[in-house]
Amino acid sequence: MYIDILTIFPEMVKLVTGWGILKRAIEGGLLHVRAINIRDFTMDRHRSTDDAPYGGGPGMVMKPEPVVKAIEYAKSEQEGKVILLTPQGERFTQAKAQALSKQMHLIMVCGRYEGIDERIRYFVDEELSIGDYVLSGGELPALVVIDAVARLIPGVLGNEASAGEESFTQDLLEYPQYTRPPVFRNLPVPEVLLSGHHEKIQQWRKGMSLQRTQKRHPALYQQYLRHHQGKEE
Ligand code: ADE
């Protein structure tokens, strides 16, 4: 998958490309991440990417020309899906991550300043928000989306099963996990996990996932019940 991030802070992209699973995916050629500096598409002497709002008011507005030129540049070799990160967008979810992981080329547009010129929206396919809070720019949200999407690309997780072995792991909160030692500060690992009985372990894990989701995230639990009604796993 090819991902372009259009930003005035290209250095921020290294936050996700330099470590762990994403670094490995890039080195393995499964993922190509490119930071495109919007400032490189400015025409004026000061290379300005923002300007005062028409109609007055506080703050600055991101200019349309450099952003749209950067989008066109990103598309010049290969068509792509253009995504604008904004608190006004559709909420980013695991289902959305699944859908995006099937794309060949994502072009992520990171807004900055107090806002973007409304006409930029005509050059965008989709708007995404990572939650109901306002960050100072779209960079961190873009990196959140990239992280969630990249780990769903086939081959990116070392252990293919980790992403979706049992369908419930995708749609519910995780079951409790333990590693050695068997007793830590008087806290034992649940007996069933030491039993070696695979089927019982799976049952226990699913039960814990259901219990946790119902308690901590009732809306996700209801969604799970709707989607899995009548389906035996
Ligand atoms: N830009 C600023 N805040 C944001 C958010 N919550 N989601 C996506 N983009 C943003």
From the CA of 156, how far away is ligand 1's center (Å)?
26
Tell me the average pLDDT across 208-214.
98
Residues 96, 146, single domain; the answer is yes
User: CA–CA separation, 89 vs 91, rounded Å?
Assistant: 6
Tell me the average pLDDT across 155-163.
70
Do residues 94 and 219 make contact, with C-beta atoms less than 8 angstroms apart? no
Report whether residue 87 contacts ligand 1, using a CB cutoff of 6 Å: yes
Residues 146, 209, single domain; the answer is no
Q: Is residue 157 part of a domain?
A: no
Residues 125, 206, single domain; the answer is no
Q: Which of 126, 150, 174 is the last residue of a domain?
A: 150
Tokens of 100: 């995006």
Pocket perturbation via mutation, ligand 1, pick of 109, 135, 143 by most ligand atoms within 8 A of CB: 135
pLDDT of residue 4: 98
Neighbours of 33 (CB within 10 A): 21
pLDDT of residue 233: 60
- CA 101 to centroid of chain Cα atoms: 10
Q: How many helices and strands in the chain, by DSSP H and E?
A: 10, 10
User: CA–CA separation, 220 vs 228, rounded Å?
Assistant: 12
pLDDT of residue 131: 98
Residues 50, 116, single domain; the answer is yes
Atom of ligand 1 nearest to the CA of 131: 6
The parent domain of residue 218 ranges over: 165-228
Residues 138, 171, single domain; the answer is no
- Compute and round to an integer the Cα radius of gyration of the chain: 22
Half-sphere exposure of 22 (CA within 13 A, CB side): 21
Residues 134, 191, single domain; the answer is no
Q: What CATH code is carried by the domain that includes residue 204?
A: 1.10.1270.20
**Residue with tokens 């921020």, as numbered in its chain:** 12
Is 161's pLDDT higher than 90?
no
Percent of the chain residues past pLDDT 90, beyond the cut: 88
Q: What CATH code is carried by the domain that includes residue 139?
A: 3.40.1280.10
Pocket perturbation via mutation, ligand 1, pick of 8, 86, 124, 140 by most ligand atoms within 8 A of CB: 86
From the CA of 8, how far away is ligand 1's center (Å)?
16
Report whether residue 108 contacts ligand 1, using a CB cutoff of 6 Å: no
Residue 185 burial class via C-beta count within 10 angstroms: exposed 0-12, middle 13-18, buried 19 and up: exposed
Q: Which band of pLDDT confidence, cut at 50, 70 and 90, is reported for residue 114? A: confident
Give the total number of structural domains in the chain. Answer: 2
Tell me the average pLDDT across 7-16.
94
Q: Which of 83, 117, 150 is the last residue of a domain?
A: 150
- Return the sign of the alpha-carbon dihedral for residues 62, 66, 68, 73: negative
Tell me the average pLDDT across 180-191.
98
Report whether residue 145 contacts ligand 1, using a CB cutoff of 6 Å: no
Q: Is residue 158 part of a domain?
A: no
Residues 36, 84, single domain; the answer is yes
Q: Is residue 213 part of a domain?
A: yes
Tell me the average pLDDT across 81-92.
98
Q: Is residue 160 part of a domain?
A: no
User: CA–CA separation, 146 vs 131, rounded Å?
Assistant: 15
